[in-house]
Amino acid sequence: MLETVLLDAGGVLMFPNWTRISAALARHGVSVPPDALAAAEPHAKRQLDVTKTIQVTNDASRGWLYFNSILTTAGVSLSDATAAALEDLQIYHRAHNLWELVPADVLPALKALRARGLKLTIVSNANGTLCAHVARLGLGAHLDCVLDSCDLGVEKPDPRLFEAALERSGATRETTIHVGDLYEVDIVGARSAGIRGVLLDQAGLYEGVDCPRVRSLTELVGQIERGVFD
């Protein structure tokens, strides 16, 4: 029986504040609406989610690649102005965390999972602000544990972060799943620790991948209720 659900933070529970990003770009003379950035994000992320890229980067360096890819996918040419805007956003992110958009289905999903008696733990590559950030977004009361890779000195896909999550959650790998949005980081990492991975593929860009996929946390809850992961 499923007992524990590990959850990535960015890309699963929270997303970049596209309005803040659009405003930062506008201050540097670059016009791109928030919805265009949001629409470009899954496609940009999919481009980065390949073995070669993940193996030669870490979470911090992928952040620059990620936002540059979002901009180019949204039709924005990279320039000194976009670089300056991204630097402003990096400053904000280091202090507060830019991933501050919580989709409407997140809290109901967390409540539904907790109502089933499941333990919920965040396992995220982050920058040391995640624990405070989770509390600021009002998610902390619905979680049992939050692991920020910066605090532990190891990040996904390294299995040691997942091992730490199991230990802190009091969980066993056989009764645990991990839900993430990057195949090469979340699914490969979870498997290396003997944990089943579930890919949150909101835009349906991972057709044929060798793991369970869901398009939303609402769909995940439905599958858990049907006993798919028991």
Q: Quick one: CA torsion of 65, 123, 51, 34, rounded to 10 degrees?
A: -30
Mean pLDDT within 68-85: 98
Confidence of residue 85 (pLDDT cuts 50, 70, 90): very high
Pull the structure tokens for residue 59: 């979470």
CA 190 to mean position of chain CA atoms: 14
DSSP code for 133: H
Pull the structure tokens for residue 199: 């890919």
Reduced to 3 states (helix: H, G, I; strand: E, B; else coil), residue 90 is helix
**Strands 213-214, 119-124: parallel, antiparallel or unpaired by DSSP?**
unpaired
Confidence of residue 209 (pLDDT cuts 50, 70, 90): very high
pLDDT of residue 133: 96
Pull the structure tokens for residue 44: 């940009």
Confidence of residue 84 (pLDDT cuts 50, 70, 90): very high
Which residues are bridge partners to 123 per DSSP? 147
pLDDT of residue 125: 97
% helix, strand, coil for the chain, step of 5: 50, 15, 35
- Contacts for 128-134 with beta carbons within 8 Å, 24 or more apart? 129/94, 129/95, 129/96, 129/97, 130/9, 130/97, 133/96, 133/97, 133/99, 133/100, 134/9
Pull the structure tokens for residue 166: 């199991």
Q: Which residue from 196, 210, 200 is spatially nearest to 45, judged by alpha carbons?
A: 200
Q: Give every strand in the sheet of 213-214, ordered side by side.
A: 145-148, 119-124, 4-7, 176-180, 196-200, 213-214
Give 22-58 pLDDT, tens digit per residue.
999 999 999 999 999 999 999 999 999 999 999 999 9
pLDDT of residue 70: 98
The conformational region for residue 170 under phi > 0 = left, psi -120 to 50 = alpha, else beta, is left
Residue with tokens 């619905």: 142
Residues near 78 by Cβ (< 8 Å), separated by ≥ 6?
68, 71, 72
Give 103-137 pLDDT, tens digit per residue.
999 999 999 999 999 999 999 999 999 999 999 99
Residue with tokens 């990279």: 78
Q: What radius of gyration do the chain's Cα atoms show? A: 17
Query: What are the φ/ψ torsions at residue 214 (nearest 5 degrees)?
Result: -135, 155
Give 157-208 pLDDT, tens digit per residue.
999 999 999 999 999 999 999 999 999 999 999 999 999 999 999 999 999 9
